[in-house]
Amino acid sequence: VVYMQNSGIGNIINPVASLLNDKVYAIPCIFVVGWRGEPGIHDEPQHIYQGEVTLKLLEDMDIATFVIGKETTEAELYAKMKEFRNVLTNGKSVAFVVRKGALEYGNKVVYSNEYQMKREEVLEHIVAVTENDPIVSTTGKASRELFEIRERNGQGHECDFLTVGSMGHSSSIALGIAMSKKNEKIWCVDGDGACLMHMGSMAVLASRKPDNMVHIVLNNTAHETVGGMPTVAGNINLVTIAEGCGYPYAICVDNFADLDKELKAAKEAKSLRFIEVKCALGSRADLGRPTTTAIENKERFMERLN
């Protein structure tokens, strides 16, 4: 059984088509898919198109689907599970697509870690040092907080590319910019979950060694934006991994004094730097979302780069 948000469907297409498919190994799998961006349900821009094509993508991969909503009864679910058993027996996969609010739960699990620095405050320190340098920020709350910091500071948003969706790709985007804008300092504000999702990009980044880029990973050991479930980033050493990939400088900080010291040094450095920042879990209850569109963000950022 594989549980995922529908934004992860793109990541399963290759193994489903080339490994699980009944024309290959015929390994049956049950997918439980959270349906973000369902047509007619308000959601963030990065989920709209994914939501529109969710069912079609699954059907195109020959995955039988059943949509679970608030109105779905246990009898209907059991009947569908019985039907799906025959599908699974034949080496094919099935998917239960779960609408928003379809599942009830009791006590909400509250996750925490031992770190003290709040992510939004860390971002404020980063912005204070980067000044007008381009920033590529990862998907989730980090980009939302960066947007609000600019608003509070009375600054524009032309220096920031907010990587909505595309989890794990912000460092690759930043690398491309750093390679084409060699006279600018490029900052990537990554997250531990995103970094883990496409960790191979660290090896590529380090092999190119852009001397005008800083790769910051905000590590709160959790997928906070989607509920706070833990990542494995609390059990591994990202600095050692960065060094093994070939980053010429890698360090971890867990307090503001060390953070400020490393940010200022990175600003002046003429080599690629990796900074892991240990952050607490949590965000403001009134944290907003960007009030500009993704297209507006892209166009302003492009104008800034040009």
By percentage, how much of the chain surpasses pLDDT 70? 100
- Span of 48-52, 100-104, 158-162, 269-273 with lowest mean pLDDT: 100-104
Q: What pLDDT is attached to residue 111? A: 87
What is the DSSP annotation of 41-53? S---HHHHHHHHH
Mean pLDDT of 274-292: 94
Q: What pLDDT is attached to residue 103? A: 87
Q: Which candidate, 170, 224, 165, places its Cα nearest to that of 44?
A: 165
Q: Provide the pLDDT confidence category of residue 277 given band limits of 50, 70 and 90.
A: very high
CA-based torsion, 118, 119, 120, 122: positive or negative: positive
Tens digit of each residue's pLDDT (9 = 90 or more) over 139-175? 989 999 999 999 999 999 999 999 988 999 999 999 9
Alpha-carbon dihedral 188, 189, 194, 197, rounded to 10 degrees: 30
Q: Are 17 and 61 in contact (CB under 8 A)?
A: yes
- Span of 77-81, 247-251, 283-287 with lowest mean pLDDT: 283-287
Q: What pLDDT is attached to residue 228? A: 86
pTM: 0.92
How remote is the C-alpha of 160 from its chain's centroid?
Answer: 16
Q: Which candidate, 216, 209, 192, 199, places its Cα nearest to that of 122?
A: 216
Q: Are 187 and 246 in contact (CB under 8 A)?
A: no
Which domains are seen in the chain, by residue range?
Answer: 2-98 (no CATH), 119-305 (3.40.50.970)
The pLDDT of residue 227 is above 90: no
Q: Are 196 and 231 in contact (CB under 8 A)?
A: yes
The pLDDT of residue 105 is above 90: no
Q: How many CA atoms lie within 13 A of 229 on its CB side?
A: 3
- Beta bridge partners of residue 303, listed in sequence order: none
Q: Provide the pLDDT confidence category of residue 214 given band limits of 50, 70 and 90.
A: very high
Mean pLDDT, the chain, rounded, equals 96
By percentage, how much of the chain surpasses pLDDT 90? 90
Q: Are 277 and 125 in contact (CB under 8 A)?
A: no
**3-class DSSP assignment, residue 16:** helix
Q: What pLDDT is attached to residue 21? A: 96
Tens digit of each residue's pLDDT (9 = 90 or more) over 49-89? 999 999 999 999 999 999 999 999 999 999 999 999 999 99
The pLDDT of residue 106 is above 80: no
Q: Starting from the edge strand earliest in sequence, which strands make up the sheet with 135-137, in order?
A: 160-162, 135-137, 186-191, 213-219, 273-278, 250-253
Q: Provide the pLDDT confidence category of residue 266 given band limits of 50, 70 and 90.
A: very high
What is the DSSP annotation of 111-177? ---S----HHHHHHHHHHHHTTS-EEE-TTHHHHHHHHHHHHTT--STTEEE--S-TT-HHHHHHHH
Q: Which candidate, 144, 148, 198, 145, places its Cα nearest to that of 170?
A: 198
Q: What pLDDT is attached to residue 42? A: 86
Q: Provide the pLDDT confidence category of residue 44 given band limits of 50, 70 and 90.
A: confident
Mean pLDDT of 212-226: 95
